Amino acid sequence: MMSQTAPRAYLRVLGLVAALSRSDAAVDCSYSIQTTEGNAIIGAPLNTVLTGFVYREIGGISRLQCVASCAKDTRHCYSFNYCHSTKLCQLNRANQARQPQHLTKGEGCSYYDIFVECQTTTDTNYHNVYLHAVANVKRLEFQVKTATNAIIVLSPVLKDHNPMYEIILGAAANKEGAIRRCKQCPNKRTVTEPGLVSGSQFRGFWITFDLNTGELAVGRAGQLKPFMTWVDPSPMDVKYVGFASYYNDPGEYRYFCSI
């Protein structure tokens, strides 16, 4: 039996984008950076920084080194500011998705979102592995490899809680998808979708949740239209994400560490 493991960084080797052939000290550098440690993309207009959440400053390093510094600290770093003229790197413990009101002007500096891919393995005992940080559950993107019953939970607290949202991909011998409002409750929505998940390859999905309308939607990566939706008449303010597996089929999940 495979035991559940804590999230670990899963780093894909990626080439540098062509724009990085320019000097890294240039103020208007490329809008995206790809390195072996992780990916970053400029997340706000130039000369804009995130303030109030800097937990570490590193001087005299390049922008690529700043990306690497943030990408390696997957537990704390969610974004960074980089000042090109002074070569100052500021690591942030938040990002603009969570704290948009803290974006301010910063002449000669730019704000970057960091994207590092993490991986979690779940056992077959229906134990939810929770991501410890408060998540941006408005939109969750992930990949999963399991033969049946990929389980994703959205919970208001950092543990199993009733009520909470439970999304199942590959239920009923990999023939259905389902949405529940608590663990092992009757389905609120069931759709027939044969072959949703695979035990031999990773497949990508997205989940969106609108606290105002209560709409929960699930779709395939690369497709705009969801294949499964449900509207909760009493929406929960969910803050944490968990993954699980069931029925003798362990699961592997990949996701951006900063979710």
pLDDT digits (tens, 9 = 90+) for 118-173: 788 998 889 999 987 677 688 888 899 999 999 999 999 999 999 999 999 999 99
Instruction: Please give the residue that has the higher pLDDT: either 28 or 146.
Output: 146
Q: Report the half-sphere exposure of 72 (CA within 13 A, side-chain side).
A: 6
Across residues 101-126, what is the average pLDDT?
86
Q: Which of 10-14, 16-20, 25-29, 215-219 has the highest mean pLDDT?
A: 215-219
> Per-residue b/e over 145-178, b at no fewer than 16 CB within 10 Å?
bbbbbbbbbbbeeeebeebbbbbbbbbeebebbb
Q: What is the CATH number of domain 118-256?
A: 2.60.120.200
Pick the CATH number of 11-115 from 1.25.40.10, 3.50.4.10, 1.20.1070.10, 3.10.20.30: 3.50.4.10
Across residues 60-87, what is the average pLDDT?
89
Q: Which amino acid is at 167?
A: I
Residue 20: is its pLDDT beyond 50? no
Instruction: Please give the residue that has the higher pLDDT: either 2 or 145.
Output: 145
Residue 93: is its pLDDT beyond 70? yes
| Residue-range domain boundaries for the chain | 11-115, 118-256
